[in-house]
Structure 1
Amino acid sequence: MWLGACASTIGTFVQQFAQSWLVYDLTKDPFYLGLDLFLGQLPIILFSLVGGVFADRMDRRKMLLSSQYIQMACAFILTALFLAHKVQVWHILSLSFVVGLGQSFGGPAYSALLPTLVPAENLSNAIAMYSIQFNLARVLGPTLGGLAYATLGPTWCFALNGVSFLAVILSLMMIQVTFVPAKSKEAILKSMGAGIGFIRQREGLAALVFLAFSTTLLGFSLTGFLPVIVRTVFHGGPRTYQLLLVCSGAGSIVGALIVAASERLKGQGHVALLTLLALGTAISGFAVSRWLPLSCVLIFISGAAIMASASLMLSLVQLIVSEQMRGRVMSVYSLAFRAGIPLGSLALGKLIPIFGITAALGGSGILLIAVTLSFLVLMRSVATFQRPAETAR
């Protein structure tokens, strides 16, 4: 499962490299970069709660397979459009929406399936390992994407992504699933309400959901607007863009390794908040930096902080959720976590032309620092939240 996901995620970042660069090349407008990210995440906002309900009443592996088929088809459609020299911006935007639709059902299914493949005491390690493969792909994907883009052209970037889905499809067919949810005739809205009620009843869980939204809203848009920074600040091209992406991905791997090494320490909630402070500071520094080596260091730190904080919060949530409620609760958490990405991207896409990339991006970092400080000072339920021993057993 790890190998299949890694291969597929590498393909995703190969396509993302070409897609972001082409959208900005075709439009010369940062708003369309934000719009592309927004449309890719919009279905997740609209449908992931429904996906969570289905993940608690259907075979999660079959749901994941359907999601992979949809995403693979979109990659090959985009390949065909490039081969025919018919591609337009609206094609890319539309296919991003369809990919997001597949992910809105695949995401909750994956979040619910992963804990059934490992013992509870190894769950934090499994989450950290997943983070490592994701961010290893963030390093290898842009590198391979840059090579493919320069030597073969953008068409092959999309084709390689389509082929990469075969790896995760084969892995899903090979694994042995030990838990299949019981079928239910309960109304979808009632099932959603049960999941939301569980979150409200558990101390600190609702605060973690809100913090996840704030983190992605203010801290996850940096890499999405790198083409603007590369062009306007450093006056560079694809190689500079590739370098910054690789530094960000390398930092994320380091962040995931730190989480894997420190998972049994007390006060994980407090550590997550301190990590978010580092993230806000790194983003603010990156916004004002005009020296490429310093920017590489700062984006490395931001990548490490993003992955460490996200892994810590996710492992805390996963460890206190019962198996019967896992799909619904994780769909709410994933919705909050992922909803911030398109909203933050769309907001930055509008603010950058008005205030400039430095002020808009720096403001995001400062706001993230302010939100985190308020949690540290006012909301002790998160700062003291940690892995419950009775659930870990």
Structure 2
Amino acid sequence: MSPAPSPRTTSKPESAWAPLAARVFRALWIAQLVSNIGSWMQTVGAQWLLIGHDAALVTLVQTASSLPVVLLALPSGVLADRFDRRSVLLTAQFAMLAVSCALTALAFTGALTPALLLTLTFLLGCGTALMGPAWQAIQPELVARDRLSQAAALGAVNMNLARALGPALGGAVVAAAGSGWVFAFNAASYLGIAGVLVFWRRPAAARPVAGGEKALAALYAGRRYVWNAPGVRRVLLRTVLFIPGAAALWSLLPLTASRSLGLGSGGYGLLLGAVGVGAVAGAFALPRIRRALGAGGVLGGGALVFACVLAVLATVRIPWLVTLALLPAGLAWIGVLSTLNAAVQTRLPGWVRARGLAVYLLVFQGGQALAAPLWGALAGWLGLGTALLIGSLLMLLGVASVRLWPLYDAEGIDPSPSDHWPTPPLVFDPGPAHGPVLVSVAYRVAPEHRAEFVTRMGRVARSRRRTGALTWGLYQDGNDPARFIENYLVASWSEHLAQHHSRLTATDRRHEEQARRLLAPGTRPEVTHAFDTAEGAVVPDPGDPVSPSR
């Protein structure tokens, strides 16, 4: 299978299905659809095996699937940035295949206890956690950057189309032949994605450079980047304000089906299928809705729809009315998810993309994993209807917060790489681990621009911290008020070279240029690099024929 063409910028908006023109993306999308159908079939089988137990135990199926993301998302993001993402994805697929085969064998032999079911579901969740950051991070390698929102929407269509088909198929198979067969189908479904990945060859430029960051340093670098990227942090905040309340629907829907509506496994599958049908149908209208409402309108409208649907689930006992109410929930789900997913994709540069996406997946999946048992406990303590109404109220609070904390405008964020710093002219060649390195930059600023210069340098400070600075400060010379000195400390020489050649983006360059336009005419920044002299690590003098001991 030939590699996808390099991402390019297209001149005009395209249809929602444009990413499917890329052969690798299309093949993976189809294989993922089959795998997602298998996952939903298994979810129905697992939840139905536990439906006679306590409500909290039923909701633990979702927790067992999502909790591994809380534990493994960040290490998985490091792996996906340090190693070949294709290899990471293949490893995850074959690991999940092995676990699924074990689950199938136990189901057919009648040895599948609730504890074993939850344990194996947890292990499958570990495979999903390993796969998640790498899967999300390869999307910009498969489609153009301006098609990422369509690709994210297609990913949500994929999941919801599987939700429309998988639960109904799962419920029918469970009713006709038992849970073992849905587990068997899920095991076979992993072979499709693995087959596509085996034949895909990533472009050499997209592969990690050997000898990169150490694992702990890479983990810290990802955390540091997200903390100092306001655009990414705002996406995470919007995720936190939506997911816990929305999780009430997924966590309590099986209980609503069995206890409130008196439905069997097939009826529960049809309710989930209604959400999927609404999402797939809504995909056609979503581009027009997004153009009319904007990202904030989609987020607020999606939360409002979920609030209304949860209220219907709490109060209505007529199955066909509940089924109709779940149709717009599918549209709301795909609208919010595609908006958040595209937002975080377009705000992350390639060098830290998997780690940033790992944090997003941690918040997204972790919110579901932590909220699910809480909704189950509330349903057992206060009653199912009351728990659903509390979820509805929580979603209304999310609606009210959209105007207060909107997503930042993506037009001001360009994560494309920018190698605009010259190589530092040093008199010796430091090793990669040499450090810490103190970088000092002296500026001369005219009196009328000094206040604005300090403000502009606040954005430069975030850039320095995102790309490697451990500390940062801006100082004004007491003897020469026109002279400002920027100091920042980087852990090692290799970290600073990464700032020079692989971590800076077009946005970082713009912030620097905006600050430097305020310098006094005819002056340029003066940059020096100083090395820690601890333990006698003295820089050799090129004029001294005898190098000092170290």
Normalised to the residue count of structure 1, the TM-score between the two structures is 0.93
Bigger drift between 193-202 and 167-176 goes to 193-202
Contact 1:268 1:386 in 2 (8 A): no
1:131 to 138, 151, 156: 156
CA separation of 1:173 and 1:391: change in aligned 2, threshold 3 A: same
CA separation of 1:64 and 1:236: change in aligned 2, threshold 3 A: same
Describe the superposition over 1:224-281 as per-residue Cα deviations: whole angstroms up to 9, x where unpaired.
3222112211122123212211101112223444334556668323432332222222
> Which structure shows the higher helix fraction?
1
Structure 2 match to 1:71: 96
**Structure 2 CA distance, aligned partners of 1:264 and 1:60?**
34
**Structure 2 CA distance, aligned partners of 1:255 and 1:350?**
33
Report the Cα offset of residue 41 of structure 1: 1.6
Report the Cα offset of residue 306 of structure 1: 1.4
**Structure 2 CA distance, aligned partners of 1:262 and 1:181?**
38
SS in 2 for 1:182: coil
Report the Cα offset of residue 391 of structure 1: 5.4
1:82 counterpart = 2:107? yes
1:241-390 alignment to 2 at 5 Å?
A: 241-261=268-288, 267-376=294-403, 378-380=404-406, 382=407, 385-386=409-410, 388=412, 390=414
**Structure 1 CA distance, aligned partners of 2:242 and 2:208?**
31
Give 2:219's aligned amino acid. Answer: M
SS in 2 for 1:86: coil
Contact 1:252 1:303 in 2 (8 A): yes
1:141 counterpart = 2:141? no
Report the Cα offset of residue 205 of structure 1: 2.2
Describe the superposition over 1:201-239 as per-residue Cα deviations: whole angstroms up to 9, x where unpaired.
333321210221332211023133222112211122123
CA separation of 1:95 and 1:135: change in aligned 2, threshold 3 A: same
> Which structure shows the higher strand fraction?
2
CA separation of 1:119 and 1:151: change in aligned 2, threshold 3 A: same
CA separation of 1:196 and 1:80: change in aligned 2, threshold 3 A: same
1:160 counterpart = 2:204? no
Give 2:405's aligned amino acid. Answer: M
Structure 1 match to 2:543: none
Report the Cα offset of residue 331 of structure 1: 0.5
Bigger drift between 188-197 and 73-82 goes to 188-197
Report the Cα offset of residue 53 of structure 1: 0.9
Contact 1:286 1:299 in 2 (8 A): no
SS in 2 for 1:220: helix
**Structure 2 CA distance, aligned partners of 1:267 and 1:148?**
41
1:133-212 alignment to 2 at 5 Å?
A: 133-178=158-203, 179-212=206-239
Higher relative contact order (CA 8 A, sep 6+): 1
Contact 2:100 2:183 in 1 (8 A): yes
**Structure 2 CA distance, aligned partners of 1:108 and 1:304?**
25
Structure 2 match to 1:234: 261
Give 1:340's aligned amino acid. Answer: G
Give 1:108's aligned amino acid. Answer: P
Contact 2:35 2:190 in 1 (8 A): yes
Report the Cα offset of residue 335 of structure 1: 0.5
- Unaligned ranges ≥5, structure 2: 1-27, 417-505, 507-550
**Structure 2 CA distance, aligned partners of 1:12 and 1:222?**
18
Report the Cα offset of residue 143 of structure 1: 2.1
CA separation of 1:221 and 1:73: change in aligned 2, threshold 3 A: farther
Report the Cα offset of residue 108 of structure 1: 0.5
Give 1:247's aligned amino acid. Answer: A
Bigger drift between 115-124 and 43-52 goes to 115-124
Bigger drift between 204-213 and 75-84 goes to 204-213
Describe the superposition over 1:49-97 as per-residue Cα deviations: whole angstroms up to 9, x where unpaired.
0111111111111111111112212221111112211111011010011
Structure 2 match to 1:17: 44
Structure 1 match to 2:448: none
**Structure 2 CA distance, aligned partners of 1:83 and 1:150?**
15
Report the Cα offset of residue 387 of structure 1: 5.1
Contact 1:256 1:311 in 2 (8 A): no
Contact 1:128 1:256 in 2 (8 A): yes
Give 1:146's aligned amino acid. Answer: G
CA separation of 1:390 and 1:47: change in aligned 2, threshold 3 A: closer
SS in 2 for 1:70: helix
Give 1:358's aligned amino acid. Answer: G
Describe the superposition over 1:2-40 as per-residue Cα deviations: whole angstroms up to 9, x where unpaired.
111111111111111111111113x2x111112222122
**Structure 2 CA distance, aligned partners of 1:123 and 1:234?**
40
Give the paired residue count. 388
Give 1:385's aligned amino acid. Answer: D
SS in 2 for 1:324: helix
Structure 2 match to 1:56: 81
Describe the superposition over 1:162-211 as per-residue Cα deviations: whole angstroms up to 9, x where unpaired.
11111111111122322212234423333233223322333332121022
Describe the superposition over 1:293-319 as per-residue Cα deviations: whole angstroms up to 9, x where unpaired.
221122222221112101111101101
Percent identity for Structure 1 against Structure 2: 29
Q: RMSD in angstroms over aligned alpha carbons?
A: 2.1
Structure 1 match to 2:60: 35
CA separation of 1:349 and 1:365: change in aligned 2, threshold 3 A: same
**Structure 2 CA distance, aligned partners of 1:276 and 1:87?**
38
Give 2:242's aligned amino acid. Answer: T
Contact 2:44 2:265 in 1 (8 A): no
CA separation of 1:157 and 1:164: change in aligned 2, threshold 3 A: same
Contact 1:270 1:385 in 2 (8 A): no
Contact 1:276 1:369 in 2 (8 A): yes
Contact 1:6 1:137 in 2 (8 A): yes
**Structure 2 CA distance, aligned partners of 1:256 and 1:132?**
7
Structure 2 match to 1:214: 241
**Structure 1 CA distance, aligned partners of 2:217 and 2:33?**
36
Contact 1:251 1:304 in 2 (8 A): yes
Structure 1 match to 2:456: none
**Structure 2 CA distance, aligned partners of 1:241 and 1:360?**
19
